[in-house]
């Protein structure tokens, strides 16, 4: 590939006198031609090493990606488009970078986007009115009516994603600092990412540990007050991952689902839980007019 260039460079290093002239076909010409073969091989091998080390060039192959995923502890899936695998490898190489606030939700969002996932991250922390009408049921939970209005000690509210399918509104959860469904929340299906790559293992994270402890959801007695407050405290350690506008679904290739959840688990603080709003599409992402995922069941 570079043999002719190396020969030209070699000849240019000789003095210009007649005694150093290299005649085509001469012994000297054959000597430098033979040397150029090995020099060309060494130079080509050097370029190949750089191409396989850095995932930023068209010569980076699927085999190179597999090797780097093994070294970096990433999930290897040959069905994923090579460009997406290169993005994930590059993000991992750059981690943790120079950003000190690596537990901030915007950092998690940036890292997910850097890996090729078109998502946004939203804190479970939404503005709320500084006062709450007492007639909404707060007085039934042991709080006196204070002239019709009760001061809200926390100007921010959390959203209960289960509110759409439970009796939470009857229980007064929306009046205790949980944002109303009409304001921020629609009943899109979601999945939980707490401790496991397999979503089925996290599916009952809240229902097993929190909601089941609340007993009869139609009555809010003093005994259940502390359990409800504990439930709200747990919701404050949650965040949402969605499409470009919460709570719209993000479109993620089905074959990257495990990789996506693994990255979330590595990025998020251990005590937090993610509610994921995503459509795991099985479209033909590699443009080969062949749906490779028809034999897989999400």
DSSP 158: B
Q: Which percentage of the chain shows pLDDT scores above 70?
A: 66
| Per-residue model confidence (pLDDT) at position 203 | 86
Residue with the larger pLDDT of the pair 134 and 10: 10
pLDDT class of 185 with cuts at 50, 70, 90: very low
Q: What is the pTM of this model?
A: 0.64
Residues 80-91 as b/e (b if ≥16 CB within 10 A, e otherwise) read: bbbebbbbbbbb
Confidence grade of residue 29 (pLDDT, cut at 50, 70, 90): confident
Pairing of strands 238-242, 273-276: parallel
- Note the pLDDT tens digit of each residue in 266-291: 999 988 999 999 999 876 544 544 44
pLDDT computed for residue 50 by the predictor: 83
pLDDT in the model for residue 173: 41
């Amino acid at each position: 590939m570079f043999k002719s260039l190396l020969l030209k460079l070699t000849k240019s290093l000789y003095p210009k006198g007649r005694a150093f002239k290299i005649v085509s076909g001469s012994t000297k010409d054959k000597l430098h031609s033979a040397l150029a073969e090995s020099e060309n091989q060494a130079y080509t091998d050097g370029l190949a090493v750089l191409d396989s080390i850095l995932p930023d060039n068209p010569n980076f192959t699927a085999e190179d990606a597999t090797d780097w995923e093994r070294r970096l502890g990433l999930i290897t899936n040959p069905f994923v488009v090579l460009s997406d695998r290169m993005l994930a490898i590059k993000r991992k190489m750059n981690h943790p970078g120079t950003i000190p606030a690596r537990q901030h939700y915007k950092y998690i969002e940036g890292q997910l986007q850097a890996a090729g996932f078109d998502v946004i991250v939203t804190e479970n922390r939404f503005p709320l009115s500084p006062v709450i009408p007492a007639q909404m049921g707060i007085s039934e939970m042991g709080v006196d009516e204070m002239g019709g209005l009760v001061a809200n000690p926390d100007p921010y509210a959390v959203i209960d994603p289960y509110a759409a399918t439970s009796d939470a509104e009857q229980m007064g959860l929306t009046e205790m600092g949980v944002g109303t469904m009409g304001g921020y929340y629609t009943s899109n299906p979601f999945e939980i990412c707490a401790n496991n790559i397999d979503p089925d293992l996290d599916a009952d994270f809240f229902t097993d540990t929190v909601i089941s402890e609340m007993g009869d959801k139609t009555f809010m007695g003093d005994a259940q007050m502390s359990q409800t407050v504990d439930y709200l405290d747990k919701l404050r350690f949650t965040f949402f991952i969605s499409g470009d506008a919460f709570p719209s679904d993000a479109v993620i290739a089905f074959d990257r689902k495990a990789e996506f959840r693994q990255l979330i688990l590595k990025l998020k603080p251990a005590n937090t839980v993610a509610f994921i709003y995503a459509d795991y599409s099985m479209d033909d992402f590699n443009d080969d007019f062949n749906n490779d995922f028809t034999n897989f069941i999400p």
